[in-house]
Amino acid sequence: DVVVGIRKTVASLSLIGCLFMIGVIWLFRKYRSFVQRLILYLSIAALLDTISYLMGDLHPDGTLCNFQAFLLTLFEWSVLLWVCCITFNLTLNIIWMTRTDKYEIMYHVVSWGVPLVLACLPFIGDHYGPAGAWCWIPNQYTHWRFGIWYGPLFCLLGLMVVVYTCISVTLSRKVKRWEGTYDPDVERNKDLLKEDIKPLRAYPFIYLALSIFPLVHRIQNAVSPNDHVFALVVLQCLTSPLQGMVNAIVYGLDRETVVRLTPTSIKLAIQSRFNQPTLISEYPSAPVTSQDASDYDLT
């Protein structure tokens, strides 16, 4: 009961974080920016992942347990791949200076299609079942755990660290090249690049930190399948469902958003959202006839 309570509490915080992100992007119409749309898609994936963690109590092996395990695999992968797409998008923007909105459909195919295929694989041979605080891949299938999730996860995180290092170096060189000149467009681009990269640079390390305790717990499960360490179970419950809240902090609390989160700005945004715009109609003028003129006293 304690473990389930911790899992649900942390997942509830993540649910609030995801709804906050989606609400801010919708309210202030930030989705008009392609980067913000990518963050919206990431928030939706994280929201669905959080709902998977909130599904009921501990389930026995069966249809409901397999369904929760399938959803967790699907949406954990979806969150990770949306983060990878955002990283790839920044790489194209900053290093190769390429427009990327044309890749939006491809990002959807990768971030929803690939997880769907991967989440279906453990159904082969019935490799889903109870796995501690929730249903996933049981202890006896360690090779499946590391082959379908932990191995690719840490490879992608390592790759993201390298990519963000390259992005940071490239951005520093661009900033130095811009020094000594003043052009409003250049200054605006410089500020936008800095604001985009600053919070995202830390994300792979945050994701890595959140993945450490689940990894240690799963390694302990592999070494001693019959001995459960309660502290590791609790730490995994504290970190695994936390992605939604972390996304809200990293992606949602940028300087522009924080400045706009005032009662006045929120009120104006809500009014703009729900109030119908005033329509000004034009009517064609008609010639005045003698009959119309006779209706008025013109003397």
Whether residue 287 has pLDDT greater than 90: no
Going by pLDDT thresholds of 50, 70 and 90, the confidence category of residue 181 is low
SS3 content of the chain, % helix, strand, coil (to 5): 75, 0, 25
Choose among 116, 35, 30, 118: nearest CA to 83.
35
State the DSSP string of 238-285: HHGGGHHHHHIIIII--HHHHHH-SHHHHHHHHHHHHSPPPP------
Whether residue 283 has pLDDT greater than 90: no
Q: Which range has the worst mean pLDDT, 8-17, 80-89, 170-179, 276-285?
A: 276-285
Going by pLDDT thresholds of 50, 70 and 90, the confidence category of residue 117 is very high
Say which residue, 210 or 179, is predicted with more confidence: 210
Whether residue 251 has pLDDT greater than 80: no
Whether residue 187 has pLDDT greater than 70: no
Q: Which residue has the tokens 């190769």?
A: 96
For the segment 158-182, the average pLDDT, to the nearest whole number, is 77
Going by pLDDT thresholds of 50, 70 and 90, the confidence category of residue 289 is very low
CA atoms within a 13 Å half-sphere pointing along the CA-CB vector of 165? 7
Say which residue, 8 or 197, is predicted with more confidence: 8
Q: What is d(CA 96, CA 220) in angstroms, rounded to the nearest whole number?
A: 43
Q: What is the pLDDT of residue 294?
A: 44
Going by pLDDT thresholds of 50, 70 and 90, the confidence category of residue 299 is very low
Q: What is the pLDDT of residue 16?
A: 92
For the segment 61-86, the average pLDDT, to the nearest whole number, is 92
Region label for 5, one of left (φ > 0), alpha (ψ between -120 and 50) or beta (otherwise):
alpha
For the segment 43-53, the average pLDDT, to the nearest whole number, is 93
Whether residue 191 has pLDDT greater than 70: no
Q: Three-class SS of residue 136?
A: strand
Say which residue, 68 or 172, is predicted with more confidence: 68
**Number of Cβ within a 10 Å radius of residue 28:** 19
Q: Are 7 and 53 in contact (CB under 8 A)?
A: yes
Q: Are 164 and 201 in contact (CB under 8 A)?
A: yes
Going by pLDDT thresholds of 50, 70 and 90, the confidence category of residue 139 is confident
Q: What is the pLDDT of residue 202?
A: 67
Q: Which range has the worst mean pLDDT, 188-197, 210-219, 269-278?
A: 188-197
Q: What is the pLDDT of residue 44?
A: 94
- Name the token pair of 220: 């302990």
Q: What is d(CA 272, CA 270) in angstroms, rounded to the nearest whole number?
A: 5
Q: What is d(CA 46, CA 191) in angstroms, rounded to the nearest whole number?
A: 28
CB burial of residue 167 (10 Å; 0-12, 13-18, 19+)? buried
Residue type (1 letter), 65: C
Locate all alpha helices (DSSP H) within 128-254, ordered by sequence.
142-145, 151-178, 184-201, 203-223, 230-239, 243-247
Any idea how long the chain is?
299
- Name the token pair of 215: 């990894």
Q: What is the pLDDT of residue 228?
A: 77
CB burial of residue 190 (10 Å; 0-12, 13-18, 19+)? middle
Q: What is the pLDDT of residue 218?
A: 83
Whether residue 126 has pLDDT greater than 50: yes
Say which residue, 147 or 292, is predicted with more confidence: 147
